[in-house]
Amino acid sequence: MQTANTNTVWSSYIHTPSLLAKHRELRFRDENADALKKLLAIEDGRSIIEVGCGPGTLCHKLQQWYPTTSVSGFDIDEGFIEYAQNSYAGVHYFAADANLINTQQRYDYTISHTIFEYMSPDCFFRANNELLKDDGVMIIISNVQSINHDEELRTPPIPLLQAYYDTVKDLKSVHSHVVDRQNYQERDIITSLDRYGFEPIGIHYYANEIIPCNETPEKRAVIMDMYKEIQHSMFVTSIRKYGKIDQERYTQILAEIDSYYDEYSKQLDSKWPLHIDLLRIVKAKKKCT
């Protein structure tokens, strides 16, 4: 199997590994396991590989939910793979580019979560085809729609931070300059499946409440940490891209971000954020060759 070139585009510019892992811990939390397992319908005791596993959280959950299944995951981004290897035991993580994947080892299942929309269909389906046994099952999970009422957490009214962002001309491009996200319709996927050698099994939707009310103090802390880290990550990414900020101001802005979220935590009950994602789960069988 060929490994990727040194590459940390996603983990350096889009989401830090720990931030993405926090979000995925909430999305794939154990309270959702029964509902998700029903839709995934994976048979325990088989082999499964995640294409573009990022920080490795979904693989880790699958390993826990299907204890006799052998779980592997790969990603082109070595920053994510290093994080996954250091954070989760019992899963085989490795760095590789899906465009180049070429292996003798075949799996009963491939799974992917929010990666299909960032890759060319040719590359995505070729990699899944390459990795699956004949009759193996491909599972594609995408986030197709979000409902967010968490503006004060996503765009906090911190004057110094806002003043900095006002100096950044094209803020939107900060996070989108390295990725190009496609929004595929259901019909596009169905047509592609046949073209790339897959037979549809079914498509399901799952409304995933990322932040349910009345969480335990530990989970509340994770939620607030996640929002705090989103701000840190956006700010630091902007600095990386646009540079030019003096050290004192930099430190002061980071401290203000921290204190904003610490204060917010104290009022969380009355300002509980809503964040629901609609996940689409596509399942298809590889046609025998």
Ligand X SMILES: C[S@@+](CC[C@H](N)C(=O)[O-])C[C@H]1O[C@@H](n2cnc3c(N)ncnc32)[C@H](O)[C@@H]1O
Q: Can you give the binding site for ligand X, defined by CB under 6 A?
A: 10, 20, 24, 52-55, 57, 75-77, 80, 97-99, 113-115, 118-119
Cβ atoms of 73 and 84 closer than 8 Å: yes
Contacts of 183 (CB under 8 A, 6+ apart): 117, 144
**Minimum distance from residue 217 beta carbon to ligand X (Å):** 25
Q: Which is nearer to ligand X, 48 or 257 (CB)?
A: 48
Q: Which is nearer to ligand X, 29 or 287 (CB)?
A: 29
Q: What tokens were used for 180?
A: 């190009």
**Minimum distance from residue 5 beta carbon to ligand X (Å):** 11
136-138-142 Cα angle (round to 5):
170
CA dist 207 and 195 (Å) reads 29
CA dist 62 and 75 (Å) reads 17
Q: Which is nearer to ligand X, 28 or 235 (CB)?
A: 28
**Minimum distance from residue 230 beta carbon to ligand X (Å):** 14
Cβ atoms of 79 and 11 closer than 8 Å: yes
**Minimum distance from residue 69 beta carbon to ligand X (Å):** 18
Q: Which is nearer to ligand X, 75 or 158 (CB)?
A: 75
**Minimum distance from residue 118 beta carbon to ligand X (Å):** 5
Q: Which amino acid, residue 53?
A: C
Q: Which is nearer to ligand X, 253 or 282 (CB)?
A: 282
Q: What tokens were used for 248?
A: 């004192």
